[in-house]
Structures are given as structure tokens and as C-alpha cells.
């Protein structure tokens, strides 16, 4: 890479930081975030996302000064794309990033969007903002591409460097140029697609497919419970067929799988389509917290412990295992369902940031030592620390009927039963 060609990364969260770190191994990177607390945290060598596993590279320039973006010629946007309270796409962060970047662009610069969007957002919404501020024109003085981020927080196997990067751009030459940049840091290589819209759509398809498949397994798990069949035993059996895909039942939240199907359905509805399969799958997944709460209460009631007399621990609060990210976590709905039925809940998670969780959800988080004796513990998120706990360690927190609700089914059922723990799994 030409030494004069520095890169900017806009938005330094779960996605932007790994991207900035990867490129800073080969060139200077202007790492820009509007949140000065985030910049200061990183400058101090700390990182609440857990992505910073190395000392800060000297070529990484951390800044919240947008003027620093002028020194780069290749810009990568990694800002959030959440949904609003009506489950509609909220593009305000992305639009704001484009308003900031536009005036800093030079003729010949390249802009790549990595944030997850529905097809059309980059060309129809972001490019006009960039063009109006810069006076540049896509296709002549401005190069534009889209390259979805596919990493998954806390997944230590599938990283930015070893996951194939999709690249689509406004023309073939631009796609080649962007692909060449990514090839220098993404060892798994680049898959070029014919257009920006194909790249945008591929990301939506990947995540929507996952949501729909988990919803199917959740619905089947509910049936298996009604039939008194263990869903994990069924999945183990079905896995022996070559074309079966082994999804696990569970809570599906977070800001990707729990959000992107709404991006898909929003654009589908604008085109007069009725994405009822996708919306129904999302609604099935949204309902699982309530289902687990009701099952917990039913089992306690069978043991003569009415909901209003029950003390239930909820272990794990983030949206997925071994990850501190609490955005759109479905554990909150589970806790609220239990509380709405009169159960007293005590929640604990050694991984999440306690003040952040308490401020966001107005739910007190306890240390394990602060818990009273519990009639049941719901292991809502299978953090390693919970999966590796022995039956004796759980029994130290439990009293009759010593009930463990293992939502993800990661505990050894026979070992726990032998130790006198009553274990239920989704
Ligand atoms: N987290 C994931 O696992 C993951 C995986 C694939 C794709 N994505 C997608 O990547 C995008 C980013 O997600 P994330 O998880 O990194 O979000 P994040 O919230 O962790 O980080 C976003 C960062 O952008 C900053 N920011 C917000 N507005 C800004 C602006 N206008 N200018 C500069 N900085 C700004 C925030 O302060 C924050 O630090 C989203 O579209 C998401 O859907 C996320």
C-alpha cells in the first residue's frame, strides 16, 4: 500500500476497532469516534468490548476530531444501525457519519460502508449526503463501496482476518481497488460481488436466515416439551443426516440477528411485499423469554412453590455467551416476565458492566456472594464461567426444589441429576 494512503475508520465499537487494528498493522489509520469517552478509554489501553488484545499500534491515531479524517483517502464507516421503538431502521448514526465525513473528502477518495443496512441505503441515502457536502460525484471523483462486517462478538475462531470479506462497489474498478485493500489484511480473501446492493442484501440474507432457523428450532422445542421429548436429544439424532443444520433453541437478541430481520421486513414492506415468515420468526424468537419464565413457574408450582413465594436467580445478562454486550438482550424480557408473575428475581453476571446494565434497564445486578438461597436458577446465557460450575457450586446457591433452568442446554444433565439438581433445558 502506498505510504501516503492512510485509512480512516469511523465508529470504533465491536466492528470498527478490529477493522482499525487490522489496517494499522500495514498503514496509518485515523480511528475516529464521536464518543470522547470511547477515545479516552482506548487511549488508556482499555476496551469495554474486549476486542483490544494487544498494545495500541503506533500507526493508530485515536481521535474525536473530524478534521483528522482529511488526512485519509480511504474511509470505512462502522457506526451503529439499530432499530427504533417501532422496529423500524434507525439510520441516524449512519447519516450523521456521512454528514461528518462528506466535507472532509478529496477528489478520488474511497468510502466503504460496513454497517449493516438494507439494499439501497448506501447509494440512495448515504452517497447523496457525501456528494452534497463534498461536491464530488460517485463514479467520477468519488469511489463508493459496501463491505458487510461478518464478525461475531466473543467468537474467537471467526475473526476479521480469517473471514472472507464481501465487496461490492459502484463500478468494477472501484470494487477491485477496495478488494485489494482488504486483501492486505483479510487473509481469508475477498469475494467480489457485482454491485453494492448485492453486498448489502447478502448480509441481510445471512442474518435473517439465522433468525428464521433458530425460530424454527424454538418452535419445535416448544412442541417437544409438550410431548415430553428432550429437544437436544432430537437435534443430536437429526444431526446424523447430511443436510440437517443443527441450530440450538434459545433467546435471540443483540443488535444483529435480533435487528436485521426488521431491516429486511421494512424494505420488503416498502416494496409491497408481506414478509410474514420473517416477522413471524422474529416474533417467535421474541416470545422465548416469556416461554422460559412460564416454564420455570410451572415447574416450581408443581413443587408447591407458588410464583409469589419463589426466589429465582437469573444468571447471564448479555445478548450472548462470553460477551459483555447488553444491547437488545432478551434476558431482560425473561426477568420482566418472571417479575410480572410475582416472582422475586436476583440477577447476576460477572461479565457485563454492572453500572451500565443497571442504568440501561433499571435492574439491580448482584455479585454471586450477595444472592439469597434460590428455589431456581435460570442460566439465561451460557458464559463459560456458568457452564464450568459444578453441581456442588450451584447447590450452594439453591434450596428445594434445587431447580436449574439451562436455557442453552450446555450443562451435563446426567451429572447434575446424579448430584440432586433438577435440570430443565429448552
Ligand atoms: N457487533 C457485531 O458483532 C456486528 C457484526 C456484524 C455487523 N455489525 C454491524 O456493524 C455496525 C456497527 O456495530 P457495532 O457493534 O460495532 O456498534 P458499536 O455500538 O459497538 O460501535 C459503534 C461506535 O460508533 C460510534 N459512533 C456512533 N455514531 C458515530 C458517528 N456519527 N461518527 C463516528 N462514530 C460514531 C459509537 O460511539 C460507537 O463507539 C452496525 O451496523 C452493526 O449492525 C455488528
- Position 394 pLDDT exceeds 80: yes
Catalytic residue among 51, 78, 256, 323: 256
- Position 1 pLDDT exceeds 70: no
What is the edge-to-edge ordering of all strands in the sheet holding 110-113? 60-63, 29-32, 7-10, 74-77, 110-113, 143-146, 165-169, 190-192
pLDDT tens track for 286-327:
999 999 999 999 999 999 999 999 999 999 999 999 999 999
Please tell me the residue having the least CA distance from ligand 1 atom 20. 13
Mean pLDDT, residues 376-398: 97
**pLDDT at res. 49:** 87
C-alpha closest to that of 10 among 124, 127, 142, 99: 99
Taking the CA of residue 14 as reference, the ligand 1 atom at the shortest distance is 16
Mean pLDDT, residues 117-121: 98
Task: Identify the bridge partners of residue 405 per DSSP, sorted by sequence position.
Answer: 378, 424
| Strand residue runs (E) in 228-359 | 311-315, 344-348
Looking at every residue in the chain, the average pLDDT score rounds to 96
278 touches 261 (CB < 8 A) = yes
Taking the CA of residue 153 as reference, the ligand 1 atom at the shortest distance is 3
- Expressed in angstroms and rounded, the spacing between residue 338 Cα and the centre of ligand 1 is 32
**pLDDT at res. 204:** 97
pLDDT tens track for 323-377:
999 999 999 999 999 999 999 999 999 999 999 999 999 999 999 999 999 999 9
**pLDDT at res. 4:** 57
CA distance between the termini of the chain: 51
- Expressed in angstroms and rounded, the spacing between residue 18 Cα and the centre of ligand 1 is 11
- Residues with CB under 6 Å of ligand 1 are 10-16, 32-35, 38, 78-81, 93, 96-97, 100, 115-116, 149, 151-153, 255-256
DSSP secondary structure string, 106-119?
Answer: -TT-EEEE-S---T
Mean pLDDT, residues 155-172: 93
Helix (H) or strand (E) holding 146: strand 143-146
**What's the rounded Cα separation, in Å, for the pair 182 and 201?**
20
pLDDT tens track for 273-285:
999 999 999 999 9
Taking the CA of residue 150 as reference, the ligand 1 atom at the shortest distance is 6
| Eight-state DSSP code of residue 309 | G
**What's the rounded Cα separation, in Å, for the pair 174 and 195?**
11
Q: Return the residue matching grid coordinates 482499525.
A: 20
- Expressed in angstroms and rounded, the spacing between residue 149 Cα and the centre of ligand 1 is 10
**pLDDT at res. 3:** 47
Grid cell for residue 11: 465508529
Mean pLDDT, residues 37-63: 92
Q: Which domains does the chain have, with CATH numbers?
A: 7-192 (3.40.50.720), 195-284 (1.10.1040), 287-426 (3.40.50.720)
Taking the CA of residue 151 as reference, the ligand 1 atom at the shortest distance is 5
Residue with the bigger pLDDT between 233 and 1: it is 233
145 touches 200 (CB < 8 A) = no
- Expressed in angstroms and rounded, the spacing between residue 373 Cα and the centre of ligand 1 is 40
175 touches 145 (CB < 8 A) = yes
**pLDDT at res. 51:** 83
**pLDDT at res. 155:** 85
| Strand residue runs (E) in 187-343 | 190-192, 311-315
| 51 noted as active-site residue | no
- Position 2 pLDDT exceeds 70: no
**What's the rounded Cα separation, in Å, for the pair 61 and 215?**
43
What is the edge-to-edge ordering of all strands in the sheet holding 344-348? 365-366, 344-348, 311-315, 374-379, 398-406, 422-425
- C-alpha count within 13 angstroms, C-beta hemisphere, residue 389: 18
- Expressed in angstroms and rounded, the spacing between residue 396 Cα and the centre of ligand 1 is 40
Amino acid at each position: 500500500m502506498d505510504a501516503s494512503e492512510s485509512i480512516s475508520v469511523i465508529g470504533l465499537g465491536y466492528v470498527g476497532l478490529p477493522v482499525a487494528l487490522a489496517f494499522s498493522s500495514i498503514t496509518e489509520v485515523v480511528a475516529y469516534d464521536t464518543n470522547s469517552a470511547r477515545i479516552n478509554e482506548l487511549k488508556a489501553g482499555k476496551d469495554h468490548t474486549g476486542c483490544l488484545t494487544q498494545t495500541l499500534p503506533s500507526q493508530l491515531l485515536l481521535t474525536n476530531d473530524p478534521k483528522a479524517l482529511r488526512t485519509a483517502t480511504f474511509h470505512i464507516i462502522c457506526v451503529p444501525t439499530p432499530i427504533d421503538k417501532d422496529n423500524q431502521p434507525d439510520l441516524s448514526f449512519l447519516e450523521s457519519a456521512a454528514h461528518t465525513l462528506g466535507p472532509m473528502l478529496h477528489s478520488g477518495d474511497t468510502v466503504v460502508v460496513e454497517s449493516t443496512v438494507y439494499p439501497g441505503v448506501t447509494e440512495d441515502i448515504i452517497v447523496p449526503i457525501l456528494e452534497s457536502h463534498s461536491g464530488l460525484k460517485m463514479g467520477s471523483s468519488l469511489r463508493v463501496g459496501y463491505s458487510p462486517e461478518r464478525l461475531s462478538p466473543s467468537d474467537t475462531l471467526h475473526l476479521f482476518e480469517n473471514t472472507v470479506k464481501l465487496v461490492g462497489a459502484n463500478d468494477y474498478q472501484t470494487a477491485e481497488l477496495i478488494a485489494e485493500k482488504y486483501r492486505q489484511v483479510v487473509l481469508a480473501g475477498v469475494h467480489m460481488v457485482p454491485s453494492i446492493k448485492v453486498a448489502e442484501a447478502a448480509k441481510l440474507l445471512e442474518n435473517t436466515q439465522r433468525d428464521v432457523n433458530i425460530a424454527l428450532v424454538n418452535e419445535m422445542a416448544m412442541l417437544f416439551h409438550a410431548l415430553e421429548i428432550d429437544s437436544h436429544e432430537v437435534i443430536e439424532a437429526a444431526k446424523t443426516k447430511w443436510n440437517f443444520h443443527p441450530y440450538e433453541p434459545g433467546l435471540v437478541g443483540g443488535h444483529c440477528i435480533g435487528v436485521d430481520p426488521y431491516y429486511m421486513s421494512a424494505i420488503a414492506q416498502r416494496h409491497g411485499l408481506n414478509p410474514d415468515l420473517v416477522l413471524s420468526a422474529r416474533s417467535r424468537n421474541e416470545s422465548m423469554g416469556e416461554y422460559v419464565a412460564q416454564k420455570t413457574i410451572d415447574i416450581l408450582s408443581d413443587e408447591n412453590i407458588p410464583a409469589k413465594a419463589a426466589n429465582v436467580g437469573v444468571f447471564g445478562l448479555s445478548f450472548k455467551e462470553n460477551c459483555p454486550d447488553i444491547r437488545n438482550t432478551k434476558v431482560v424480557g425473561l426477568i420482566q416476565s418472571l417479575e410480572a408473575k410475582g416472582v422475586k428475581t436476583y440477577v447476576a453476571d460477572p461479565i457485563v458492566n454492572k453500572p451500565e446494565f443497571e442504568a440501561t434497564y433499571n435492574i439491580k445486578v448482584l455479585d454471586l456472594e450477595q444472592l439469597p438461597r434460590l428455589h431456581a436458577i435460570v442460566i439465561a446465557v451460557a458464559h463459560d464461567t456458568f457452564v464450568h460450575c459444578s453441581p456442588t457450586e450451584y447447590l450452594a446457591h439453591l434450596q428445594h426444589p434445587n431447580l436449574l433452568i439451562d436455557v442453552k442446554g450446555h450443562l451435563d444433565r446426567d451429572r447434575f441429576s446424579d448430584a440432586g439438581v433438577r435440570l430443565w433445558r429448552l
